[in-house]
Amino acid sequence: MPELPEVEVVRRGLARWVARRTVADAEVLHPRAVRRHIAGGDDFAHRLKGQRIGEPSRRGKYLWLPLETTHTSVLAHLGMSGQLLVQPHDAPDEKHLRIRVRFDDDLGTELRFVDQRTFGGLSLHHTTPDGLPDVIAHIARDPLDPLFDDDAFHDALRRRRTTIKRALLDQSLISGVGNIYADEALWRARLHYERPTGTFTRPRTTELLGHIRDVMNAALSVGGTSFDSLYVNVNGESGYFDRSLDAYGREGLPCRRCATPMRRRPWMNRSSYFCPRCQRPPRSAS
DNA sequence: GACGTACCCTGCGGGC
DNA sequence: TGCCCGCAGGGTACGT
């Protein structure tokens, strides 16, 4: 499941292998992969043709490729299983190949969007004056962004009448944190996922943000060295950071701090993993 | 406006 | 062996 570090690895790969190339043509093989492009797959392909790709950017789990000389960008979200691959154009098609982009050069490679569960997709959007695709203007900065405002985040947290994990997954408050890194950061901070956001003190918020950044940077340092090759590749199943997870997916296994068996609780159609001893529930929660 | 939840989708694994 | 069901989960639409 690609989260911020994985998306950043993809962005770096695109910067190396795709930026400054001109699109010869694009092929949409599954309509759902361009469902956020309202005008449809044919329009997407038509508008991409002949465009030169600029420097890729990222905010949270979204990344985008600006099209030079236009005020538009190709916006990408990998969803749960999306991959952006740079493949030799004679490589066999992947089973779940959804979009193919060929280039007008002799490098012999093409960009492929492969996505098993089709939660991800590509689309074309106007770029706002600050360089952001217009449809993601509501996405907050992510905690690795130098302009992320810790104090403003704390104030917003205090204003909310919700619980901490919901807040961490709210991309309009803080972006790039998914279910896995939320559980990891909360475990490190010894915080229960249902702690009300209104109870957070400034030092608590600062500490939690520190743990979020540590978890993300650790994943980035591992993933960031694994793709120094032809392939711009994030594979949700490759699990290159699985070994370093302390909470997520560890139901029944001993807590790495206190050896108490870790628990899993159904939560918002997904799961929360936590240590019942290190991460005590708030009085109002069970 | 703020908050909570159902739904989209496909493949895998467990139970029967 | 094969079928069915639950699970995985980000973002969004919709209900309260």
Domain that holds residue A265: 150-236+243-274
A229 token code pair: 């090759």
Same domain, A56 and A85: yes
- Indicate if CB(A180) is under 7 A from strand C: yes
Residue with tokens 């997407």: A44
Same domain, A18 and A90: yes
CA atoms within 13 A on the CB side of A214: 15
pLDDT of residue A223: 63
CB-CB contact of A67 with A73 (8 Å): yes
pLDDT of residue A149: 93
A127 inside domain: yes
CATH number at residue A99: 3.20.190.10
**CA–CA separation, A168 and A140 (whole Å):** 11
A286 inside domain: no
A268 token code pair: 């918002």
A142 inside domain: no
A170 inside domain: yes
pLDDT of residue A189: 95
pLDDT of residue A227: 35
Which of the nucleotides lies closest to A162 (Cα–C1')? B3
How many angstroms is C1' of C12 away from CA of A101? 27
Same domain, A21 and A85: yes
- Indicate if CB(A133) is under 7 A from strand C: no
What's the Rg (C-alpha) of chain A?
20
CB-CB contact of A96 with A102 (8 Å): no
pLDDT of residue A284: 59
A143 inside domain: no
Q: How many domains does chain A have?
A: 2
A145 inside domain: no
Nucleotides of C under 7 A from a protein CB: 7-12
Same domain, A25 and A100: yes
pLDDT of residue A117: 82
Catalytic residue set of A = 2-3, 61, 270
Same domain, A131 and A156: no
The list of chain A residues with pLDDT below 70 reads: 1, 223-243, 284-286
Same domain, A9 and A124: yes
Same domain, A98 and A8: yes
Nearest residue to A232 via CA among A144, A142, A114: A114
Same domain, A50 and A104: yes
- Indicate if CB(A123) is under 7 A from strand B: no
- Indicate if CB(A235) is under 7 A from strand B: no
A76 inside domain: yes
Same domain, A130 and A197: no
Domain boundary among A82, A108, A136: A136
**CA–CA separation, A73 and A121 (whole Å):** 13
Residue nearest the C1' of B12 (CA based):
A237
Nucleotides of B under 7 A from a protein CB: 2-11
pLDDT of residue A49: 96
Same domain, A112 and A217: no
A144 inside domain: no
Domain boundary among A136, A169, A188: A136
Same domain, A205 and A91: no
